[in-house]
Amino acid sequence: MLICVLTTIASIVTIGFGIWHFFVPTIWHWHSYIDSKATELVRAIQAINILFSLSLVLIGLMNIILIWSSESNRFSILIVLSVSVVLWVARSLLQIAYPQGSINPFLRYGMLLAFVLVTILYLGSFVLTLAKNAML
């Protein structure tokens, strides 16, 4: 049950980040930093952001569906959890190396804390799932 709770919390945060990222270009006025004549660049950034946002939402949903489904197998759960761990470890490391929100220390370190906490939740689920299945 602990595995389900840890995964669900981390997945809800992942889905939340994904949904939030759909609106990031508008909130932060990304287009104002790009020459208005560079329409292909604007479309490329929009496409990448949509793909990224959708990926976060889908990964979060996959984790929730797999962890709560009685039809899921150990291999599928471990694969999706490992993808989630790698994703959030990478995001945490990027926040350390190239911090975002550097104008406001609260935002900068708040984001890092959020990223590390989600990483720990997914990593905990992964390790507990691995240990649980090793005992069987």
Q: What's the residue count for the chain?
A: 136
Tokens 């590390």, residue located: 116
Quote the pLDDT of residue 34: 84
If one counts the domains in the chain, the total is 1
Q: By the 8 A CB rule, do 16 and 72 touch?
A: no
Q: Mind listing the pLDDT tens digit for each residue in 22-45?
A: 998 888 888 788 888 888 988 898
Task: Report the C-alpha gap between 54 and 117 in whole angstroms.
Answer: 21
Has residue 136 got a pLDDT over 80?
no
Q: Mind listing the pLDDT tens digit for each residue in 36-74?
A: 888 898 889 899 999 999 999 999 999 999 999 999 999
- Domain with 76, as residue range(s), is 2-135
Nearest to 85 by CA among 52, 130, 125, 119: 119
pTM: 0.90
